[in-house]
Structure formats: structure tokens, C-alpha cells
Structure 1
């Protein structure tokens, strides 16, 4: 995640720095998204997580 944040920061000149807590918050959000996606896949009778579950 840190690499992705740094790349976005380099591409966006309007944001000159990113707080350390952004990485942690992103990790939490990604976990939430994946947990919900897994529930959706299970609800649809699938054992394979697909992009549409996100």
C-alpha cells in the first residue's frame, strides 16, 4: 500500500505529503472491502472471489 500511495503522491503535485496514518486507514478499508466481497461470493454460491464481488 505504501508504494501505491507514494506513486499517487508523485503523480499529484497538489498533495505534497501524505500522513503515516493514511496507509493504516487504507489497510482497514481494504480489509472491509474484501470481507464484504467474500460474503457476496458466498451468498451467490461461489467459492471464487471475483472482481464483481468488490
Structure 2
């Protein structure tokens, strides 16, 4: 298991009463890391070192 970039307790807060499987946080974290890396590539391509919302 890689380091999580999401908070498990916050996932449950936003799940609106749904049960959350143990591996959901890992999958969500992996998606978040993919999004962050893609945003970083876009920022670099545009000559910036700052990630901005529109990089998503």
C-alpha cells in the first residue's frame, strides 16, 4: 500500500451514510495522485511551477 493522500475519516463524512470498503481509500488516493501528476505536467508545459485549479 502506497502512502495515502486522502483522509479516510473525511471520505466517510462525505459518503452520505454509505459504507466505505477498506480498499476504497487506496483506490481514491491512486486516482488523486494521477490527477496531481497530470496537473503538474500541464503546469510545467505552461512554464509554471504552481498548480492551479484549471490544471485539473
Instruction: Please report the RMSD computed on the Cα atoms of aligned residues, expressed in angstroms.
Output: 1.1
Tell me what 2:4 maps to: none
Structure 1 unaligned residues grouped into runs of 5+:
none
What TM-score, normalized by structure 1, do the two folds share?
Answer: 0.81
Structure 2 unaligned residues grouped into runs of 5+:
1-6
| Cα separation, 1, equivalents of 2:20 and 2:30 | 17
Which has more radius of gyration?
1
Q: How many residues align?
A: 50
Return structure 1 stretches of 4+ with deviation > 6 angstroms: none
Give the structure with the higher percent helix. Answer: 1
